[in-house]
Amino acid sequence: MSRLREIIGTLVRLPLRLVPRNAVVRIRSGELRGWRWIAGSSTNGCWLGTYERRVQRLFREELRMGAAVLDIGANVGFYTLLASKLTGAAGHVHAFEPLPRNLYYLERHIKLNELANVTVESLAIAATSGEAFFRTAPHASMGGLRQDGNLHVTTASLDDLIASGRIPKPDFIKMDIEGAESDALRGAAKLLASGPLTIVLSTHGYQQHQTCWAILESAGFRLDLVRDGAADGDYLILAKK
């Protein structure tokens, strides 16, 4: 039966391979239906509109018009676009992404959809501001800060960025940075101590998840485990204050 499902899945996906990777397509469904997307920039689920439906639903439920949003680990911009739409002209999205390949597609998606409420920040969010190394991976969504990294990047802490006036105090944060999330939270101690704030946080690995949970809990957030990553190590937390 599993072999049959595999064959059926391959046949279903086959037509998607015929779409040129550099083709600009319209997103087929979901909140971003009709928006422009580069087919080969990420998984086909993005332009089909089926990508991470649970996270899309959280955005729809938690974001309000006029909100200030930080998309930390923006990748090629799916959630940047979604936040832009849901917050409207009165809102603003700061999209953080250090990887040049992802920045290229992120900026193209912003231009293709003529978004005026998005600022791209070529930074890796970390515990401190300075410089670090980023380890790239075969899949563009899986790289992260590592001491043995092959890419030199600029880092910044959220508290430093807010104190300098470079970004506003956010109402909503989405963070997915492949294991560096606890360091990013440590660099946002002043922000976490204030409120109100909503965070949609992906944590990678049980130890990382437990550390982030403890940081947020001690800062007074109400926590909801949206996705239990016991099977694969990928957890999803909704934190509200």
Token output for 205 = 């690995």
pLDDT of residue 158: 98
pLDDT of residue 153: 85
Average pLDDT of the chain to the nearest whole number = 89
Assess whether the previous peptide bond of 20 is cis (omega < 30° from 0): no
144 or 32, higher pLDDT: 32
Please give the average per-residue pLDDT across 171-182, as a whole number: 94
Tokens 């040129």 belong to residue? 20
Tokens 């729809």 belong to residue? 60
* C-alpha–C-alpha distance, residues 230 and 224, integer Å: 15
Q: What is the CATH number of domain 52-240?
A: 3.40.50.150
pLDDT of residue 140: 45
Please give the average per-residue pLDDT across 214-229, as a whole number: 97
* C-alpha–C-alpha distance, residues 218 and 24, integer Å: 45
Q: CATH 3.40.50.150 occupies which residues in the chain?
A: 52-240
